Amino acid sequence: MMEYKFRVANAPCSWGVLEFDLEGEAAGYEQVLNEIAETGYTGTELGDWGFMPTDPAALRAELDRRKLALLAAFVPVALADASAHAAGEEVCVRTARLLADTAGPECFIVLADNNGSVPVRTQNAGRVTPEMGLTDAQWQTFAEGANRIARAVKEQTGLRTVFHHHCAGYVETPAEVARLMALTDPSLVGLVFDTGHYMFGGGDPLEPLRRWPERIWHIHFKDFEPQVAEQARAENWDYFGAVRNGVFCELGKGAVDFPAVAAQMGELGYDGWIVVEQDVLPSMGAPKESARRNREFLRTIGI
């Protein structure tokens, strides 16, 4: 069996800590960090602002206590709305300063659309049609916002920015990811490639690795259950209904070919982190056990 040297992290979203206001109460940061470490991961992302300590020394102490690296922070911004760009820049720079002061300039800002905020995109996640997308003018605004924020983050903190394509947002389908890559500055905006979101959005998870190897600076491993997606289509579930019913299942139980993805990453010489994400709502299941099984699965494929 091929043995890879990828470093493996998990993220608070696997414990139901999501940017959305949803039913149920998520675990606190101490439990999440404890269980990330206890289940065999060596890194984490930040979660929403305020979920973990926002004082760099306090945050560093919590991470060091568990021997965890801090990798990135997810920040949603309504990029199609030019009036949201200034506030989005402020939040991203503030978050980047916390990352830089806590863990150094190798961290990333994970920039995303303000997913779940546009009803037609939320209702039709996994099955959007072109008429539900952005106009040419809106695409220009969206890309200008991404470039502006990434430039400010880099100039003021030294951190790089990666964009997270995401179902229930305006950059979901392969065509939309390609459009954003074409419109953004490759020296400023990279891609965080998410296997599950790309497949839920209608794509082949191997395609981004072949198409944009130089733009993929960060990777999320998420699985995708096509039968749940088909049921979502048949029963007209929105994005949250699909998540609630397990569209992002445990690794190895869905349709993503992780051995092939890992092999492609190895061929490309990818030397960043893999972040396991199994988006769950706060009311769902036992995340620690899922995290343990996900880590065990990765070991079976040499990671």
Q: What is the mean pLDDT of the chain?
A: 95
> Where along the chain do its domains lie?
7-300
Q: What is the pLDDT of residues 70-88, one digit of tens each?
A: 999 999 999 999 999 999 9
Which amino acid appears at position 207 of this protein? E
Q: Is the pLDDT of residue 280 over 80?
A: no
Q: What is the pLDDT of residues 100-112, one digit of tens each?
A: 999 999 999 999 9
Using CA atoms, how far apart are residues 161 and 73, in angstroms rounded to an integer?
10
- Hey, which CATH number is domain 7-300, 3.20.20.150, 3.30.450.20, 1.10.10.60, 3.40.47.10? 3.20.20.150
Q: What is the pLDDT of residues 196-238, one digit of tens each?
A: 999 999 999 999 999 999 999 999 999 999 999 999 999 999 9
Q: What is the pLDDT of residue 2?
A: 84
What tokens does 176 get? 């939309």
Q: Is the pTM here over 0.75, yes or no?
A: yes
What tokens does 204 get? 């082949």
183-192, 265-274, 282-291: range with lowest mean pLDDT? 282-291
pLDDT-derived band at 22, boundaries 50, 70, 90: low
Q: What is the pLDDT of residue 37?
A: 98
